[in-house]
Structures are given as structure tokens and as C-alpha cells.
Amino acid sequence: MTKKYLGQRITRNEDPRMLTGQALFVDDVEIPGMLHAAFLRSDYAHARILSIDVSAACNRPGVVAVYTAEDMGDFWKPGPLLVPAPRGIEGAFFHARTQIPMARDKVRHVGEPMAVVIGESRYLAEDALADIVVDLEPLEAVADLERALDPDAPLVHDDMESNLGSFVPQRKGDYEAAREQADLVIQRRIVIDRGAAAAMENRVLVAHWDAKSQEMTIWDTTQAPIPLRNGLAGMLGLAEHQVRVIAPFIGGAFGPKIMMFQPEEVLLPWATMKLNRPIKWIEDRRENFVATTQERGQIHDAESALTKDGHILGVKDVFLHDSGAYDPYGLTVPLNSQNHVMGCYDIPSYYSELKMVFTNKMIVTPVRGAGRPQGIFVIERLLDIAAKELDIDRAELRRRNNLQPDAFPHNHKIIDQAFAEFVIDSGNYPATLARALDMIEYEKFIKEEQPALRAEGRHVGIGVVAFIETTGVGPYEGARVTIEASGKVSVATGVGTQGQGHFTAFAQIVADQLGVDVRDVHVVTGDTAHFHWGTGTFASRGAVVAANAINAAAKGVRVKVLKLASKVLGAPEEELELADGMVRVADIPDQSIGLGELAVLANPMRGAVEPGSEPGLEATDYFGPQYGATANGTHAMILEVDVETMMVEIKRYVVVEDCGTIINPLILEGQVHGGVSLGIGNSYYEQLVYDDNGQLLNGSFMDYLIPRSTDMPPRIEIGHEVTPSPLNPLGTKGAGEAGAIPVPSLFAQAVEDALYDYDLEVLEMPLSPNRLFELCYQKGS
Amino acid sequence: MSNLKTITVTVNGKHYTRDVEPRLLLSDFIRHHLGLTGTHVGCEHGVCGTCTVLFDGESVRSCLMFAVQSDGHEVTTVESLGDIDNLHPLQEAFMEAHAVQCGFCTSGFLMSLIPFLEENPDPTEEEIRDALAGNLCRCTGYQHIVDAVKLAAENMAVQS
Amino acid sequence: MKPAAFDYYAPSTTEEALAYLDQFGYDAKPLAGGQSLIPTMNFRLAQPSVLVDLNPIVDLSYIRPHEDGGLLLGAMTRASQVERDPLVAERAPLVHETMPSIAHPQIRNRSTMGGTMAHADPAAELPAVAIALNAQFRIRGQAGDRWVSVDEFFLGMFMTVIEPSELLVEVRLPPMPPRSGWCFREIARRHGDYALVGVAAMVTLDGGNQCDQARLVFLSVEDRPVPARRAAEMLQGQTPTAEAIQAAAETAATEDIDPGSDIHASASYRRQLAKVLARQALTQAFARARGVA
């Protein structure tokens, strides 16, 4: 097989449709007779519901129905626990308290739905929200992560003894013994606050029950159409084949769109069956800030023990993880944090306690990075502080502790998000680090440029941090590849797509296997009518799990093509080649047949398909990795701080990325750029500010600051290292989240370096100019 | 609805006469009344720029205007640019430079850039970044969009 | 985020508009560029029952030279027109310099001169600039016109002296004396955001290169734009040396303003920014007055 496309900078198949406004997004779906939903959401973070009177709303012209939890009867149920807790960790516990479709007895976060109005237009439905009279008894809110565990703290869930939702202690080796031997022990408290995923497209849903055909069609901005279909069919008492979930083009997701079953996802399908009319709900931006899941809030009490020459003997980390009001996503996020503290380093002993805490805030589920940025922040900060204390160069300290290329597979010996021991498959960490240092000209900057700049009174700092990213977790994905009579190839897979270039990257793999033009491969994702099995797009797994399933299916078709062509062309299979949409006998170009023609022969109108064979040139296959692949990288940046205003300007940004085999460098670079921009947001711009009552104070794009074009570095320079994963035939590792993961750690280090004369230690994220001003000029606040 | 207003508006050169409620946002009118769904809506408070269209030739947020205000005016949306088989040079450049990921913010960028490139046919990178600052993109980190605008400017200069 | 229902009137003359405002009183709201009003309505934080759309009143959109060397700006003149107008650049360079700091081109294509003044957002740029330039406002009611000086115009957050039955129809910018310099500076979290602090400076030198007059006005520090009066007095009659400017900037930041705290900036951080911006703006303005910048 010639690899004409794999690894090439192929422009995207899907772009012409997107660029001309012809790509279907959920809000573009218009169905005659469609109704529109608007949700009445709690303004309180914690309150008891005494009564809800919807009569006036029901009487408003244009309102078709108003529902509260009462109306839902037996259909009202807490959602399923999406990810169960890992078993077999001694001393660990987990209490599942999953979200509910509408609040019944009390509300547990601002934005929790209490009623839904369904009307002839969204405008009218919003009018009717003002007619609903709700009598609430406000309760003290659990807003502060630490105070939530006070013995006298109010309870988010009344049936629990405390707000501690889960406790997971993990240990490797004997940290206390390591501490005894250490020359240096560093102890710090590290605080990381919440941010939003803030995809440009909010969540949108259209549910259409067709009573005559007895079919439910749901267009949903979900990352996981198949599990959603399966779950909804169960809830609604329908067969799976009666429910079709379509996730068409999705306007960015970044994690929260994997969350299910969102209250709206449960209510609309139920209501469309009751009303027998299609219903659309468009989440507006205000709702997105209070009704879509968030991430990152953690407090770590972290400690590292080192020798005087900078070797880590052990790390200890006791941390609180803010789960928000419910915990439907299990422990994925905090387990990732717990794992990533080990990073790309050889850490002989580790003791970590994860405490997941319920608060009266929006639910936490993965947001691009999914707990990993916090873990990396902890270890990288500990290393930076050690470097200063020991007077060892930051890069050198990392080099000394890096896992070496011959260390793989390396078992970190704690349980990871896949509930197995955290094993790193492959990598070359010293090479990535060295390359990044080289690209940013670290030595030259430190020795020549920085002293000169400092002499001028300028505050320009450099940072360099290394990170890993666990990617490509199971369980599996599948795909069906078909050569059609036109000679074009269609591919169907169960994952959804939200901008990752699946229509091109997947097509490249198939085009190489079948020798066709990449533009002749038509990929369908995210439609349960096209493929029945699968999980979804999350955890940087598309290019690993789905791509390998597609590769396997394409190989299956290739086998069929060769077998049939061998018969038709009268030549042994070994002598056949697939190129230009044809099967040719090598060296005899006119002895050939087009794939389309072959497809017709494989699906004859007369005669018989031979026993033991199947009609058509089609194959379906699956891929499930033994365990997840681990990508890695090093980021470096140079930034300048104006010490009068505390405004920061990033002057250079270097990424060296190792995600194994690269399918399409153009798309990969795009993924990295986007990740870095979110990371810059997480470092300096984006913070969800809650007050003591659990009220979000900046729930708009005016006050929640997403980086703009002018906030980004002039250029993100990217270098690639390629260490293929041995865990899958393509050798790929995921890259979707990588860009975001190390940025806060990097930013902290570079800011400290820039403000070398301010005795600054950054132990929190995100920062802001105001916060930097406080840290530099108002010590102690 | 008692207070419907009849408006006549030219969208992409085509005249439409419709009865609308005064409160109907121009963005909703374009998308849901005219079915021109290439214009997307991201925040409805004028910050993200996703809904940018041209109003009498100038870029505006269509979520910050009422449809009634377009009576007698001209609106231009992304659908007026190239089509799938015949992209506008700016669209071509966006494809070439991989300036599109999820594609949701894209129309807003394109419609902001059309008048910008008319006024600034040979922009510097800094001018480009300033011109992009009124549109939010969550996927690309903007670098490829900057590249696309440079490329478009070069290609359009060659073609003109 | 859909606005509540309202009745809509689109008069084509000011007189007609005033008649509607008179008829509906407090229920009515004039709609100019709408770039602040419509988002507020989309959030349903404002629910006016009547909107009187001023956009069809073409007579209110103009930039005219005044015979005294100043400028007359119609209330419905778009920010983007002001930004591109050569006469504004010549006669009111402070305004010209300020325009790119106001939001983004898509907003400036709708936003109007009168709308931004009448809205009186303490974080808006042009009200502060108007104070620095000693602008005059022509306010029209059914009984006729009245002129209000900028020092009396702003009453507080989103509050001006305009009565519900009146319209701001024109802004007059007096001529800039010879040997004058100007500067607008602001610091925002991101390009186009409302400033954390901003400052508009206008200075005039006398024949001996001493400060004849200085006006320094801050935005985003209190409930309305705040002139730094003590700082201005300190500079008057002084040679604007770096030391004098620094002293004035410090006085401005510590005595002339009483900034508040919010999620983006604490009061003390705002004072710090005010001090830095005042120094930078005054330095640049004096340099321009001397003709060296």
C-alpha cells in the first residue's frame, strides 16, 4: 500500500460547505409545525421549592404547554452515572448523585431548570417564563470548595452526611520514607479556578416524534450520538431502531457536549411525544454560562521531596475537586489530575488523596484538558520552585527527572481514568524537551538576551514546561467502508465531529488503503442511522480509536477488492495494485478495472453471490485499544510584563508535540493552535467568578473573556517529534486536548521569570492583570 | 399578532417582503424567516461577531438590529459569496490555510473581512489581527485565519 | 435572549420623533445605534414598551465645520463616519484618535455620536472625550432647543439631563486653541473591550511653553466620566516637565478620582492604571502641543 495521503497537509473535504454557509448545524433544522422551548431556570444556587404556579403561563396565547417536574410522573428520574467509579482502590468511595431533568424539591445550582414553556416561537416562550410564579425558600449556598467540608456546612444533597462525594487515595511506593531521605521538601497550596468551554455554538436540540412512522428523530449538538440514542430509547420505552440521533456539524464542543443526558435532552423527546409536534430548543449564551457544564476548580496541598541534585524522590498531593451540584461523569476529571501529577517524570513514590466535593455550582464534566492541566500545573510548579531552591536550571531539572526513551512501557502504578494501571506506551521526552529548547533558543535567551533586556529595565521572561496527555481510551469504535457503483467510497462511523477535520483525516486513511482520491471518500459521522455502534468523540480519541477502526474496515474492503479483481483480471493478488480508483496488474497498465465496475460485479443483479461471501465491496470493523496511548510535548514561551500596568504580551510561543503518527499536519497544527488559545484563556483571561451565594458574576461574553486575535502570540511555532504508539496499527496518539494542557504552568513560570525582581510565586490560575498587581504590590492579599 | 410591520428588504440582491414583529432580531429574520442559515448566532449581545452581515455594505452585528430596521435597506450574507464549486478567493484562502475548524464562526469572519479587504487590499499582519478582533473563534487560535487573510489579499491582488 | 415585545415607530423627522416621545413619556425609548440598548433588551434587562427609531431621520447625520473653527456633529452620525472623516481628524484630533478604541468596526458602523452621549455609560470613551473638549450639547424638545454644557450634561450612570420628551440632536465641539495637544489612552483587558481605565487629555501651551490649560478626564473610574480638576490646576502656569507631569498624574490618581472595585479591577489597581495613563497621556499631549510629537 502506498501512503499517498497519510502524513500530508491535505486541505479539508468539509470546508467548501462550511465556507459557503451550506453545512447543516442543528439550529438550521426547520420542520413545519415546530414548537420552541424556553426553560425557567433557578436564580438561586440553593433553595427549596415551595410551589410553582404555571397557570398564567399556560393561558398566554401562543403557549402550547408548560411542564414542571410534577408533570413528568414516572419519567422523572435522575440521569445515569455515565462513568462508574473505579473498583479495587483500597479506602476509596464514591457517591453517585446525578443530575435531574427538572428540579423537584430543591434547586442545587443557579441555572437548574424548574419549568419548561413550549410555545409557537422562542420569543413567546420567553414571554411566558415571566408568567410563572415560583415560591422559593433560599438556603445557604455551598459556594466555597473548602468550606463545603466544614462539619456545619449546608448539604447540597440532603441525604448525605457531608458534601464529600468521593475519596480516592492512591499510593505508589513509600512517600513518607522518601520524604525522610530528601534534602529538600517543598510544600505549597495551589488553587485553580473554573472556566467555561464556551464553544461558539451553544447547545441546540430538535426532537421530532412522528406518530405515524413511530420514529423519533433527534438532532443534537452532542459529542456522543450513539450512547444518547441508546439511553433515550430506553427511557422512552422505544426500540433503538425507532430512535435516530443526528449530530450534524457541531459548532465546537470542547467537552461539555459529551455530557448527557442533559435535562433538555430528556425533556424535549418526552414532550414531543406528548404533544406530537417537533420541538426546538436553542440554548442562548446566558444559559450556556449557567446550564452547560464547566471545569477546573481544584485546591491542591502538594508536596515534593528531592535530593540536592534535583532528583525527585516522591510527590504527595491532597486535593479537593469541585464537582458542582452533581457528579454524572464520575471521577474522570479528578482521576486525570491525580494521574498527570506524575507527568513525564520518573517519580519513585507518590501519595495522593482525591476528595471530590459537591457545591452549589454548575456540574463539572471534562473541558478540553479534562483535569490534566491541573495535574501538570501541580508537578510543574513544584519543579519550578525546586529549581529555584536548588539553583538548578529549570530545563536541566526536567531533563534529570524525565522518563528515558528506554523506560517504555512505563507503569506509573496507579489507577487511571480507564480503571487500569496507568501505563505509558511510548515516548521520547528528552528529545521533545531538547527540540523545544532549541527552537526557542533557550540558552541564548537566558545568557545573552535576557540580561540585556533586564539592564534596560524590561521584564521579559521565558518558560519551558513538559507534559503528557493520556489519549485514545477505549472501549472501542467501529466503521463501515463501502465502495459504491460510482467508484466513490463511503465511510460511516459512530463518533461525532465538532471541527476536528474527520471528513478529511478519516478519508486520507481510506484513500490510501483503496487507492482512491481523497476527495472521493465521503465520510458520515454522528448519525445513528448510518452506524449503530460506538461511543463518541472525547478524550482525544478520534484519531486513535475511530481512525484505527476505519483503517481496519478499509483493509477489509481492500481484501475483498483484491480477491474479486484477481478473479476478474486473471492475475494473482500479489501482482495487483490499487491506484487512481482502479485495480491494475502491476506493469500492465491496460489490464485494469475501475473500483466502481468491480463494485457492480460484487453486487450482481443476476447470478448468485457465492456461499461464504457477502455482496458488495463493503466491510465493517472495530478497534478497541488494550489501553490508552499517551502523547507528550514541551511548550516554551517568551513574554513581557509591563510592570506599571501588569499587562502581558506573549512574544514567542513554541510547541513541540509528539502524538505518534501524524495523519494530517495541517489539521494537527490547527488543533494545537486552538488548544493553546484556550490555555492562554485559562492562564490570563478566563475565570468564572462566583460569589459567596453561588451566583456567577460574569455570565456573558462582555465579562467572560475569551482570547481574541490580538491576545494571541504573533506566531505559534510548531515542531513535531514522532514516537508511534505500539498500541494501534496506525501508531497514532490523540492531540485534541494537548495544546491546552501545559499552558497555565508555562505562563506561571514565564511570568515569574519576567518579574524576577518582585519575589513572585504563582500558585494559582487563572491570573489577570489585576491579580498580578495584587501579587506584586499588595503582598498578603 | 397585532403589531406586525410589513418590510421590504433586499438580501443578496433579492427582494423580500415579509410581515414581522418589531422585536424580531435581524439575525433571526435572516435565518428563520428567510432560511439563509449560513449566518450563525453565537451570543446575541454583540460580542462574538458570529452573526456579522453587511448592512448597506458595512459589517454589522445582525443580533443588534431589529428586522424592521432593514426595511428599504440592503443586507448581504455569506450566501452571496462563492458557492461550493466556485469559492470566493477569500473562501478559497480560508480552505487553503485551514482557517476553518468547526465552521460556526466562519461566516462572521468572512463578512467582517470582505469590507476590510476592500478598504485595505494589502494589510499588514497587525492590521489583520486588529480587523479580526471583533470576531471570536474558539477553535483555531486565529493563526490560520491570519494566514488566510494574507493569502486572500495576495490572491485578490493578482486577480484584480 | 429575545427582547420583550414593543411598539415601534420610525419617524423620518425630529419633530415627529419628539411628538412620539411626548405621547409615550417614560414608556418610550429612542433607538439610535442600538449597540448598547439592544443587548440590554436581548437580556430583557430593558423592556421599553415603545421604541422610537431615530435611524430614518437622515437630517441628524452630519459632520459640519462651525465658523468658529469647531465642529458640529449630528446626533445620528455613526462612529465609523466620525472615524473616517478628515475634518474631524483636522479639527478634533482627540476624537479621531479615540475612535479605534471604541469596540470594533462592526459596532462603530452602527453606534452613533448622540447615542453614546445620551446613554452615558461611565465606561464609554466619547463622553470623557467630550468633557476634555468642552463640548456643548443641543437638546431639542417640542418647545424648542436648549444648549447644555458638557459639565452639566452627565448626571450619573446612564443618566443625563435629557428629559424623556427630549432628544439630543447635535454635539458641538469648540475649536482647539493654537499650541494645543491631545491624547487618548486606555487599558482594556482585550482589544475593543470596555476600558479598565481610560483617559482623555487636552492641553494648551502659552507663548512661554507653559501650560495655559489642561483638561484630563477619566473613564471607567466612577459612575460618570471624571475630570481631574486638581491635577489640571497643578499644571496650570507650570512648565510641563516630566516631574510636573508625574506629580499631576499622581494627584489625579489619588485625589481626583474615587474608583470602585469590580471583578476586573480593584480600586487600587484602577488608581495605578489612572496614574500611568495620566502620565502617558499628558506627556504625549504636551509633546504634541509643542509640535514635537
What are the pLDDT digits (tens) for A186-236? 999 999 999 999 999 999 999 999 999 999 999 999 999 999 999 999 999
Euclidean distance between CA atoms A629 and A617, whole angstroms: 32
Is A170 within 8 Å of A663 (Cβ atoms)? no
**CB < 8 Å to C185, chain A:** none
Do C23 and C91 lie in one domain? The reply is: no
Q: Which of B22, B69, B133 sits opposite C191 (nearest CB)?
A: B133
Question: Residue A1's pLDDT band (boundaries 50, 70, 90)?
Answer: low
Do C166 and C247 lie in one domain? The reply is: no
Mean pLDDT of C53-75: 98
**CB < 8 Å to B55, chain C:** 109-110
| 3 state DSSP class of C161 | coil
State whether C266 and A773 contact (CB < 8 Å). yes
Pure H helices in C161-266: 229-235, 242-251
Do C203 and C124 lie in one domain? The reply is: no
What pLDDT is stored for residue A77 in this prediction?
A: 94
pLDDT tens for C199-210 read 999 999 999 999
State whether A644 and C272 contact (CB < 8 Å). yes
pLDDT tens for B61-95 read 999 999 999 999 999 999 999 999 999 999 999 99
% of chain A residues with pLDDT over 90: 94
- Residues in chain B, total: 160
Question: Residue B34's pLDDT band (boundaries 50, 70, 90)?
Answer: very high
Q: Which of A284, A705, A769 sits opposite C1 (nearest CB)?
A: A284
**CB < 8 Å to C263, chain A:** 689, 697-698, 703
Q: Chain A within 8 Å of B77 (Cβ-Cβ)?
A: yes
Retrieve residue C33's grid coordinates: 445605534
What pLDDT is stored for residue B1 in this prediction?
A: 44
Is A199 within 8 Å of A251 (Cβ atoms)? yes
What pLDDT is stored for residue A590 in this prediction?
A: 85
Pairing mode, if any, of strands C63-65 and C71-74? Answer: antiparallel
**CB < 8 Å to C268, chain A:** 773, 778
C-alpha distance from residue A10 to each of A490, A522, B148 (Å): 18, 15, 15
Report yes or no on C131 lying in a domain.
yes
Query: How many CB atoms neighbour CB B16 within 10 A?
Result: 17
Mean pLDDT of A709-725: 97
Measured torsion, CA atoms of residues A54, A55, A56, A62, in degrees rounded to the nearest 10: 90
In the predicted model, is pLDDT for residue C110 greater than 70?
yes
Retrieve residue C142's grid coordinates: 417640542
Q: Chain B residue with minimal CA distance to C35?
A: B64
In the predicted model, is pLDDT for residue C18 greater than 90?
yes
User: How far does A706 lie from chain C, in Å, by closest CA?
Assistant: 9
Report yes or no on C21 lying in a domain.
yes
Instruction: Tell me which residue of A277, A284, A205, A282 sits closest to A31, measured CA to CA.
Output: A277
Task: Please give the span between the terminal C-alpha atoms of chain C, in angstroms, as a whole number.
Answer: 48
Instruction: Tell me which residue of B114, B104, B128, B112 sits closest to B43, measured CA to CA.
Output: B104
Question: End of a domain among C123, C146, C173?
Answer: C173
Q: Is the dihedral of CA A7, A11, A13, A19 positive or negative?
A: positive
Report yes or no on C229 lying in a domain.
yes
**CB < 8 Å to B11, chain A:** none
Instruction: Tell me which residue of A573, A574, A572, A571 sits closest to A591, measured CA to CA.
Output: A571
Instruction: Tell me which residue of A552, A575, A550, A549 sits closest to A562, measured CA to CA.
Output: A575
Bridge partners of B11? B14, B75
Q: Which DSSP category does C255 fall into?
A: I
C 60-89 residues with CB < 8 A to A: none
Euclidean distance between CA atoms A616 and A596, whole angstroms: 11
Nearest-5° Cα angle at C151, C146 to C155: 85
pLDDT tens for A590-648 read 899 999 999 999 998 777 777 878 899 999 999 999 899 999 999 999 999 999 999 99
| 3 state DSSP class of A131 | coil
Report yes or no on C28 lying in a domain.
yes
Do C190 and C271 lie in one domain? The reply is: yes
Q: Which residues contact C150 (CB under 8 A, 6 or more apart)?
A: C130, C131, C133, C134, C135, C136, C137
Sequence-distant contacts of C86-94: CB under 8 A, at least 24 apart = C87/C63, C88/C63, C91/C65, C91/C173, C91/C175, C91/C176, C92/C133, C92/C173, C92/C176, C93/C176, C93/C182, C94/C129, C94/C132, C94/C133, C94/C182, C94/C183, C94/C184, C94/C200, C94/C202
Question: Residue B2's pLDDT band (boundaries 50, 70, 90)?
Answer: low
Domain count, chain C: 3
Q: Which of C190, C269, C272 sits opposite A710 (nearest CB)?
A: C190
**CB < 8 Å to B51, chain C:** none
Task: Please give the span between the terminal C-alpha atoms of chain A, in angstroms, as a whole number.
Answer: 64
Give how far the C-alpha of residue A451 lies from the chain's centroid of Cα atoms, to the nearest Å: 40
**CB < 8 Å to A676, chain B:** 141
Average pLDDT score over chain A? 96
Is B105 within 8 Å of B138 (Cβ atoms)? yes
Mean pLDDT of A155-165: 98
Domain that holds residue C209: 181-289
**Would you call A431 exposed, middle or buried from its count of C-beta atoms within 10 A (0-12, 13-18, 19+)?**
middle
At C222, which CATH number?
3.30.390.50
Do C86 and C36 lie in one domain? The reply is: no
Q: Which of C103, C107, C191 sits opposite B130 (nearest CB)?
A: C191
Taking each continuous run of H as one helix and of E as one strand, the counts in chain A are 19, 30
What pLDDT is stored for residue A605 in this prediction?
A: 79
Within 13 Å and on the Cβ side, how many CA atoms surround C89? Answer: 7
Euclidean distance between CA atoms A698 and A492, whole angstroms: 41
Euclidean distance between CA atoms A197 and A708, whole angstroms: 15
| 3 state DSSP class of C87 | helix
- Name residue A358's amino acid: F
Euclidean distance between CA atoms A652 and A649, whole angstroms: 9
Euclidean distance between CA atoms C213 and C178, whole angstroms: 12
What pLDDT is stored for residue B32 in this prediction?
A: 97
At C134, which CATH number?
3.30.465.10
Report yes or no on C1 lying in a domain.
no
A545's torsion region: left (phi>0), alpha (psi -120 to 50) or beta? Answer: alpha
- ipTM of this complex > 0.90? yes
Euclidean distance between CA atoms B37 and B30, whole angstroms: 7
Query: How many CB atoms neighbour CB C246 within 10 A?
Result: 15
Q: Please compute Rg for chain A using Cα positions.
A: 27
State whether A698 and C194 contact (CB < 8 Å). no
C-alpha distance from residue C232 to each of B152, C155, C214, C229, C288 (Å): 49, 22, 5, 5, 17
Q: State which fold the B5-80 domain adopts.
A: Ubiquitin-like (UB roll) (3.10.20)
Do C207 and C285 lie in one domain? The reply is: yes
Pairing mode, if any, of strands C167-173 and A215-220? Answer: unpaired
Report yes or no on C264 lying in a domain.
yes
Q: Please compute Rg for chain C using Cα positions.
A: 19
Euclidean distance between CA atoms A754 and A639, whole angstroms: 7
Chains that touch B (3 or more CB pairs under 8 A): A, C
Q: What is the CATH number of domain B89-159?
A: 1.10.150.120
Question: End of a domain among C135, C157, C173?
Answer: C173
What pLDDT is stored for residue A781 in this prediction?
A: 46
Q: Chain C residue with minimal CA distance to A121?
A: C2
Euclidean distance between CA atoms C213 and C227, whole angstroms: 13
Q: Which of A16, A19, A498 sits opposite B102 (nearest CB)?
A: A498
Nearest-5° Cα angle at C66, C61 to C68: 160
Do C252 and C158 lie in one domain? The reply is: no
pLDDT tens for A647-662 read 999 999 999 999 999 9
Query: How many CB atoms neighbour CB A590 within 10 A?
Result: 6
Report yes or no on C209 lying in a domain.
yes
- Name residue C253's amino acid: A
What pLDDT is stored for residue C230 in this prediction?
A: 98
Q: Which DSSP category does A779 fall into?
A: T
What pLDDT is stored for residue A237 in this prediction?
A: 96
In the predicted model, is pLDDT for residue B128 greater than 80?
yes
Q: Which of B47, B84, B132 sits opposite A22 (nearest CB)?
A: B84
Q: Chain A residue with minimal CA distance to C191?
A: A710
Mean pLDDT of A336-357: 97
Q: Where are the domains of chain B?
A: 5-80, 89-159
Which of C104, C121, C190 has the most B C-beta neighbours within 10 Å, making it the best mutation to test the interface with B?
C104
Is A424 within 8 Å of A598 (Cβ atoms)? no
Average pLDDT score over chain B? 97
Q: Which residues contact A443 (CB under 8 A, 6 or more apart)?
A: A437
pLDDT tens for C75-103 read 999 999 999 999 999 999 999 999 999 99
Mean pLDDT of C13-32: 97
In the predicted model, is pLDDT for residue A683 greater than 50?
yes
**Would you call C96 exposed, middle or buried from its count of C-beta atoms within 10 A (0-12, 13-18, 19+)?**
buried
Q: Chain A within 8 Å of C273 (Cβ-Cβ)?
A: yes
Give how far the C-alpha of residue B12 lies from the chain's centroid of Cα atoms, to the nearest Å: 12
pLDDT tens for A377-407 read 999 999 999 999 999 999 999 999 999 999 9
Could you write out the DSSP letters of every residue in A306-354?
Answer: E-TTS-EEEEEEEEEEEEET--TTTTHHHHHHHHHTSTTB--SEEEEEE
Do C169 and C190 lie in one domain? The reply is: no
For chain A, which domains are there?
Answer: 198-291 (3.30.365.10), 298-473+626-777 (3.30.365.10), 474-623 (3.30.365.10)
Q: Chain C residue with minimal CA distance to B51?
A: C106
Is A750 within 8 Å of C246 (Cβ atoms)? no
Mean pLDDT of C18-44: 97
At C13, which CATH number?
3.30.43.10
Question: Residue A539's pLDDT band (boundaries 50, 70, 90)?
Answer: confident
User: How far does A727 lie from chain C, in Å, by closest CA?
Assistant: 44
Pairing mode, if any, of strands A35-41 and A113-119? Answer: antiparallel
Chains that touch C (3 or more CB pairs under 8 A): A, B
Q: Which helix (H) or strand (E) holds C83?
A: helix C79-84
Q: Which residues contact B35 (CB under 8 A, 6 or more apart)?
A: A30
Q: Please write down the HEC assignment for all residues of chain B.
A: CCCCEEEEEEECCEEEEEEECCCCEHHHHHHHHCCCCCCCCCCCCCCCCCCEEEECCEEEEHHHCEHHHHCCCEEECHHHCCECCECCHHHHHHHHCCCCCCCCCHHHHHHHHHHHHHHCCCCCHHHHHHHHCCCCCCCCCCHHHHHHHHHHHHHHHHHC
Euclidean distance between CA atoms A735 and A750, whole angstroms: 24
Query: How many CB atoms neighbour CB A433 within 10 A?
Result: 25
pLDDT tens for B92-115 read 999 999 999 999 999 999 999 999
Q: Which of B24, B41, B98 sits opposite A12 (nearest CB)?
A: B98
Pairing mode, if any, of strands A133-138 and A47-53? Answer: antiparallel
Report yes or no on C119 lying in a domain.
yes
Query: How many CB atoms neighbour CB C254 within 10 A?
Result: 14
